[in-house]
């Protein structure tokens, strides 16, 4: 179990680092957008695509942070997070990632729509709809195993085991 924690700590550190890099990348894109807007080209579709690129990168960086926090909370230690950010299972993390992917795909579709032919945009829209539909369907088929009601309190102390899946289940029952 300890080795798994070290592995997850490494993954969380890498995700945190790449999130900072992604935010920096979005800042560079935002500066380029400001140059475009202040350069008098604010009416072009290029400015809208640049804005969508900035929003897209910020979304990706945010999802990286959410996944890092969720992995930390599942495998390393509990964090004092708000309820909406608390992760109880890997299914919760997968659902967050699926929702973010649908948003990123929608943004990429609008970028493609503004810079391609009608037939290319139609093909891309079909592909985006198919992938988004599959992600939404998988999320609906495998809903979160957590309920909104609080489980009954147990007086018995939680005993750690050598099985990481059992530890995750026992932590999600708290």
- pLDDT at residue number 42: 64
Residues of the chain with pLDDT under 70: 1, 41-43, 142-174
pTM over 0.85: no
- pLDDT at residue number 41: 65
- pLDDT at residue number 142: 64
- pLDDT at residue number 43: 67
Which contiguous run of DSSP H or E holds residue 83?
none
A 10 A CB-CB count for 118 gives: 8
Q: What angle do CA 153, 159, 161 make, to 5 degrees?
A: 130
- pLDDT at residue number 150: 44
């Amino acid at each position: 179990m300890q080795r798994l924690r070290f592995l997850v700590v490494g993954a969380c550190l890498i995700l945190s680092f790449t999130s900072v890099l992604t935010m920096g990348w979005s800042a560079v894109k935002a500066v380029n957008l400001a140059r475009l807007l202040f350069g008098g080209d604010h009416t072009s579709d290029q400015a809208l695509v640049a804005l969508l690129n900035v929003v897209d990168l910020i979304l990706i960086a945010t999802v990286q942070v959410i996944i890092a926090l969720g992995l930390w909370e599942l495998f390393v230690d509990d964090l004092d997070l708000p309820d909406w950010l608390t992760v109880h299972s890997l299914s919760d993390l997968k659902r967050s990632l699926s929702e973010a992917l649908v948003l990123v795909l929608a943004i990429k579709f609008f970028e493609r729509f503004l810079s391609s032919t009608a037939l290319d945009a139609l093909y891309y829209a079909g592909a985006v709809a198919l992938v988004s539909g599959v992600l939404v369907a998988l999320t609906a088929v495998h809903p979160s195993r957590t309920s909104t009601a609080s489980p009954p309190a147990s007086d018995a102390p939680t005993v750690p085991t050598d099985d990481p899946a059992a530890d995750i289940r026992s932590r999600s029952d708290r």
